[in-house]
Amino acid sequence: MTFEYAPAPESRDIAALKPSYRMFLDGEFVEGTGEPLKTLNPATEEVLTEVSTASIADVDKAVKAAHRAYDRVWSRMPGSERAKYLFRIARMIQERSRELAVLETLDNGKPIKESRDVDVPLAAAHFFHHAGWADKLAYAGYGPDPRPLGVAAQVIPWNFPLLMAAWKIAPALACGNTVVLKPAETTPLTALVLAEICQQADLPPGVVNILPGAGEIGAELVAHPEVHKVAFTGSTEVGKQIQETVAGTAKKLTLELGGKAANIVFDDAALDQAVEGIVNGIFFNQGHVCCAGSRLLVQESIAEELLERLQARIGTLRVGDPMDKNTDVGAINSAAQLARIRELTEIGDAEGAVRWTSSCPLPDKGYFFAPTVFSEVQQAMRIAQEEIFGPVLSVLTFRTPEEAIKKANNTPYGLSAGVWSEKGSRILWATQQLRAGVVWANTFNRFDPVSPFGGYQESGFGREGGRAGLEAYLNV
Amino acid sequence: MSYGRPRVLPVGHFQDVVRDESSLRRFLHALPGVDQVGLEQRAAGLATRSIKKASKMWAIDTAISMIDLTTLEGSDTPGKVRTLAAKARRPDPGYPDVPAVAAVCVYPDMVETAVTQLSGTGIGVASVATAFPSGRSIREVKLADTRFAVEQGASEVDMVIDRGAFLSGRYWQVFEEIQAVKQACGDAHLKVILETGELAGYDAVRRASWLALLAGGDFIKTSTGKVSPAATLPVTQLMLQAVRDWHAATGEHRGVKPAGGIRTTKDAIKYLVTVHEVAGPDWLTPKLFRFGASSLLNDLLMQRRTQLEGHYSGQDYVTVD
Amino acid sequence: MSDERLAVAKTYKLYIGGKFPRSESGRSYPVVDHRGAFLANASQASRKDAREAVAAARKAFPGWSAATAYNRGQVLYRVAEMLEGRRDQFIHEVMDAEGVAQRRAQLLVDTAIDRWVWYAGWTDKLATVLGGANPVAGPYFNFSVPEPTGVVAVLAPQVSSLLGLVSVIAPVIAGGNTCVVVAGQNRPLPSVTLSEVLATSDLPGGVLNVLTGRTAELAPWLAAHAEVNALDLCGAPESLRRDLEVTAAGTVKRVLRAPVAEPEWTITPDIRRLRALLELKTVWHPVGT
């Protein structure tokens, strides 16, 4: 007797996929003068559509358009009016949520249940939250009349394409800035639908400009002399380059970079929920999460039991067609990323860590990587130090709380951390000791527009979300 | 009077656990805590599994075969029980291939009627006992209640634990009582009703589950159906974790029975998904998982017809009881 | 023979880890007053001294950052008390260093003392003002608290030898950071005297480390040092600012850019400097029974 879930695929038609997409500049969809790119469905390796990209000249046009919109319209508009545009965008995202979710899954490879239940609702929530700030900035603690900065250049990654666009655009607009945003090369589509929503919402031309393109377009954008604000989410490597580019200018910079989060499980933890949290921490979005709980630190006294439970639980994860509502782990976003994950896991083997791989079947086509756990990982191994950005968990053990914290903090990163214990004082102690911008205690990978997000050390600086997140877009 | 085979005490290190009152208490209080939010989130996640086509037919038939078709009313009569038994044997007269339910569940004085109606069908007769539903009586009465049901032919006994004793920390008393009832059951299977809606939170449900397993319950059951909330997905998940962990520790399979409040096919399927993913496929059998329900059966039958006939069925196409 | 007794001249040294060493390099450089007259020799710190100072600041960080806000406030207030006691000495040193008239020097010293008091009062208000509970949409308690960034390297203002210095270092340590400051290159003497005040004001050794010497020589080492978490370019030579910022990017340091011109330090500041050197930590915990 077996219980096989029949595939329950979401219909691709809902994405209303068009044969080609164009960039959004000064309120119009126009043909970019860069080399067009083809965006793939990573779950099938099929071309989804063609997207025109920006050239260096287009970057200049977009920045100038954003400048005009800033000078003539957006910076002069009362906050209460800006607010209404943002509320409208929030509502339209909700109205088109199913379309956006399906499109996101097609373009990104993440499971539909995540795009449907996490990415899209949170994107709408971000606009809704920030809309309310637009006419209340005087109460945000930055003085009686905080002013916007001007044109914001924003470069976002491929792991949460729509959500990251919302994280960037909503606070920028609420504070009175205008935006030129470059989505990631492999995932430009939902940002362009968001542009369509901006158009439908009658947002004044030039307030939001979306320029698809490769890395050099991002580099060009952040270097543009008429940009006043740079916001980047992505790898620490590129973040450093951007910080160098911005050096010596007056541009305000915020960076949200990589991480190698420790997830610490004490022996008094609620084990079954800890297992859930560990699974969510590393396999959510295929582990393509900068704040993923990629280093599991388990107290030695429960390590064996926890690992057994964890493997049993991971064994129930369904890997495969991201469009299937029953899929838990979808496709790796690109061939390049898959190659990197393979490379780092091979290094893990070579370093002597013990690899365990879920026996779940993988599709024949597409970029997939089975959930993997390395045990007997030592702090000195590369898989304990480097961000793998995939469904790969490294398990280390500790004996005392002090040792746990020491190992957890032993990284140049500092984006997030997790801690599991049923003892209140220990939880509070650990959250104090951990050098990370977000600490999830007895939970993991939770996000909310009111909750500031951002890192310590080489995970970047500045916060996104909540009152603290406004600072990045105000001249304060 | 025969008390049946005495159950061999739990194997391995659990012998130490049940040595005396303080060892039992220490064990129960040392069980890992339960995080409410995490537990409920997992339940909600499991509830989003989408089941279609062949899997759905299979799930419906499996759910039917797991039902303890129940009537536990003051107004129960032999006539009502006979009707129920007929429904249990052949749930949908239009479709003879519908499986029979697992058992009918009645009060002790109705057992005889049920046994007569169901003899030779393989359908069990479950009787509630032990001063059901409150459990507020003396031990002798509870044991007499149990013996009577078994003598009448009940193949399964659904007892209630003494929640008052449990909540005031008298675990040993609860433990001994379950053991005594187990003895009184003889060969009948014992389901231990925790009445989770009266226990204070999930940590208590976990303790009560282990207490019942240690004392020899064949099944742990959520509720009497007389207290709200009755069965919920998170509570059932928690109890499934207990039998899973019990199996891991002892190699023994014990069962789980959510009862009360499960009325729709959609609900039933969520429970089956939970069984499948939390305890494992081994538990997808009436031997190890039951639904305590009455109206659920008709919804399953209607959905079954919908699957077969390709259009939505109606209440008048399935029998009222 | 003169009836004036020969004064005992002070040897101006570095302040590292609560001690007053000479530069390990053995170097010193002459410091002159605004008219060019010789005042004293100051230690000319080397990159190794900078490294020692960073090590001392790193070592002091766990203790200082974990000290209660009340305690930090009292320590900062104690600095003001000690400074007040040597007010006249500082007025003379500022007059010598900056060439300002006595009344201006009095204002600068008095404001410097008051600035310590201002920041002393901030220590236990930062978490309330910058942090708080965030009403997330779910069964979680979520709160944000500011925490110190870590070790902060400060290039002190080149013009304002005492008030400017105090205005950039007090916010660093008020927030719980530890600090390595390179004093204004040509006006370092008040900073050394300030070190003597710090050494006697309950400030744990290593929380504040003062280097004198060539800003351009020391700054690149501090900008590159991986143990330094933030860099204040306030007194950086204009020609070096961009390069220092580029270097700082190598370890994603928080950089406080230099003002176009030195500000009027006597104006009461806002909390930007405090905020810039604090990290916001957000904690989630489920709410359930």
Does residue A289 share a domain with residue A141?
no
Residue C11, pLDDT > 80, answer: yes
| Helix (H) or strand (E) segment spanning residue C40 | strand C38-43
Q: How far is CA C193 from the centre of its chain?
A: 14
pTM: 0.94
All residues of chain B having their beta carbon less than 8 Å from the beta carbon of residue C289 are 36, 200-202
CA atoms within 13 A on the CB side of A167: 31
Residue entry with tokens 């995202």: A93
Asked if residue B316 belongs to a domain, the reply is no
pLDDT over 70 percentage in chain C: 99
In 3D space, the residue among B19, B33, B18 whose CA is nearest the CA of residue B205 turns out to be: B33
How far is it, in rounded angstroms, from Cα A182 to Cα A184? 7
Tell me the per-residue pLDDT of A146-181, one tens digit each, with 9 for 90 and over. 999 999 999 999 999 999 999 999 999 999 999 999
How far is it, in rounded angstroms, from Cα A112 to Cα A326? 9
**How confident is residue A2, by pLDDT bands cut at 50, 70 and 90?**
low
Active-site residue, from A10, A114, A256, A471: A256
Find the CB nearest B38 among A5, A6, A443.
Answer: A443
Å between A433 CA and nearest CA of chain C = 9
All residues of chain A having their beta carbon less than 8 Å from the beta carbon of residue B58 are 3
**How confident is residue A274, by pLDDT bands cut at 50, 70 and 90?**
very high
Interchain CB distance below 8 Å, B202 and C140: no
In chain C, whose CA is at the least distance from the CA of A241?
C249
Asked if residue B70 belongs to a domain, the reply is yes
Asked if residue A434 belongs to a domain, the reply is yes
Interchain CB distance below 8 Å, C285 and A257: no
**How confident is residue B11, by pLDDT bands cut at 50, 70 and 90?**
low
In 3D space, the residue among A415, A253, A151, A229 whose CA is nearest the CA of residue C256 turns out to be: A253
Q: Is the CB of residue A8 less than 8 Å from the CB of residue A24?
A: no
Count the domains in chain B: 1
Q: Residue B312: what are its φ and ψ, rounded to 5°?
A: -65, 135
Tell me the per-residue pLDDT of B139-169, one tens digit each, with 9 for 90 and over. 999 999 999 999 999 999 999 999 999 999 9
Q: Mark which residues 173-232 of B lie under 8 Å from A by CB.
A: none
How far is it, in rounded angstroms, from Cα A106 to Cα C16? 59
Residue B7, pLDDT > 80, answer: no
Tell me the per-residue pLDDT of B222-272, one tens digit each, with 9 for 90 and over. 999 999 999 999 999 999 999 999 999 999 999 999 999 999 999 999 999
Asked if residue B114 belongs to a domain, the reply is yes
CB pairs under 8 A between A and B: 72
Token pair recorded at residue C134: 């965030």
All residues of chain A having their beta carbon less than 8 Å from the beta carbon of residue B54 are 4, 6
Asked if residue A449 belongs to a domain, the reply is no
Does residue A351 share a domain with residue A225?
no
C-alpha separations of A452 from B299, C132, C282 in Å: 47, 11, 6
Does residue A228 share a domain with residue A151?
yes
Å between A153 CA and nearest CA of chain B = 38
| Helix (H) or strand (E) segment spanning residue C87 | helix C87-98
Chains contacting C (3 or more CB pairs within 8 Å): A, B
Residues 6+ apart with CB under 8 A from A249: A225
Residue entry with tokens 């509570």: B235
Which tops the pLDDT comparison, C55 or C9? C55
Residue B5, pLDDT > 50, answer: no
Q: What is the pLDDT of residue B12?
A: 59
The CATH number of the domain where A381 resides is what? 3.40.309.10
Does residue A163 share a domain with residue A70?
yes
Residue entry with tokens 């099944």: B219
In 3D space, the residue among B310, B304, B222, B314 whose CA is nearest the CA of residue B262 turns out to be: B222
How far is it, in rounded angstroms, from Cα C155 to Cα C162? 13
Tell me the per-residue pLDDT of B82-120, one tens digit each, with 9 for 90 and over. 999 999 999 999 999 999 999 999 999 999 999 999 999
Asked if residue A212 belongs to a domain, the reply is yes
Q: What is the pLDDT of residue A360?
A: 93
How far is it, in rounded angstroms, from Cα C227 to Cα C56? 11
Q: Is A256 a catalytic residue?
A: yes
All residues of chain C having their beta carbon less than 8 Å from the beta carbon of residue A240 are 249-250, 252
pLDDT over 70 percentage in chain A: 100
Inter-helix orientation angle B171-185/B201-214, to 10°: 40
Domain with B305 in it: 52-309
Q: Mark which residues 228-257 of A lie under 8 Å from C by CB.
A: 236, 239-241, 243-244, 247-248, 250, 255, 257
Domains of chain C plus CATH, in order, are 28-286 (3.40.605.10)
Interchain CB distance below 8 Å, A466 and C248: no
Q: What is the pLDDT of residue B4?
A: 34
Q: What is the pLDDT of residue B315?
A: 85
Q: What does DSSP assign to residue B196?
A: G
Is some CB atom of chain C closer than 8 A to the CB atom of A412?
Answer: yes
Q: Is B257 a catalytic residue?
A: yes
The region of weakest confidence among A107-111, A280-284, B5-9 is: B5-9
| DSSP 3-state of C64 | helix
Does residue A231 share a domain with residue A275?
no
The CATH number of the domain where B199 resides is what? 3.20.20.70
Point out which residues pair with B257 in neighbouring strands.
Answer: B221
Active-site residue, from B87, B142, B191, B257: B257
Does residue A118 share a domain with residue A195?
yes
Q: What angle do CA C283, C287, C289 make, to 5 degrees?
A: 145
According to DSSP, the β-strands at A392-398 and A372-375 are parallel
Does residue A221 share a domain with residue A116?
yes
Residue B6, pLDDT > 70, answer: no
The CATH number of the domain where A114 resides is what? 3.40.605.10
Count the domains in chain A: 2
Does residue A271 share a domain with residue A246?
no
Does residue A311 share a domain with residue A218?
no
Which tops the pLDDT comparison, B317 or A290? A290
Which tops the pLDDT comparison, A1 or C161? C161
Does residue A323 share a domain with residue A208?
no
Residue entry with tokens 């207490």: B211
Domain with A337 in it: 262-441
Q: What is the pLDDT of residue B124?
A: 98
Does residue A159 share a domain with residue A203?
yes
Interchain CB distance below 8 Å, C245 and A243: yes
How far is it, in rounded angstroms, from Cα A271 to Cα A310? 10
| Helix (H) or strand (E) segment spanning residue C107 | helix C102-122
Asked if residue A337 belongs to a domain, the reply is yes
**How confident is residue B2, by pLDDT bands cut at 50, 70 and 90?**
very low
Amino acid of residue C157: P
Interchain CB distance below 8 Å, C286 and B201: no
Asked if residue B160 belongs to a domain, the reply is yes
C-alpha separations of A308 from A303, A313, A314, B20 in Å: 9, 9, 10, 31
Average pLDDT rounded to a whole number, residues A416-420: 98
Q: Is the CB of residue C96 less than 8 Å from the CB of residue C36?
A: no
How far is it, in rounded angstroms, from Cα C207 to Cα C180? 8
Is some CB atom of chain C closer than 8 A to the CB atom of A450?
Answer: yes
Point out which residues pair with B103 in neighbouring strands.
Answer: B68, B124
Residue C49, exposed/middle/buried by CB under 10 A (0-12, 13-18, 19+)?
buried
In 3D space, the residue among B61, B79, B94 whose CA is nearest the CA of residue B316 turns out to be: B94
All residues of chain A having their beta carbon less than 8 Å from the beta carbon of residue B59 are 3
Q: How many residues does chain A have?
A: 476
Å between C130 CA and nearest CA of chain B = 28
Mean pLDDT score of chain A, rounded to an integer?
Answer: 97
Tell me the per-residue pLDDT of B161-219, one tens digit each, with 9 for 90 and over. 999 999 999 999 999 999 999 999 999 999 999 999 999 899 999 999 999 999 999 99
Q: Where are the beta strands (DSSP E) in A220-324?
A: 229-233, 252-256, 262-265, 295-299
Mutate which: C142, C287, C289, vs B, most B CBs within 10 A: C289
Q: What is the pLDDT of residue C4?
A: 84
Q: Is the CB of residue C254 less than 8 Å from the CB of residue C277?
A: yes
Does residue A268 share a domain with residue A206?
no
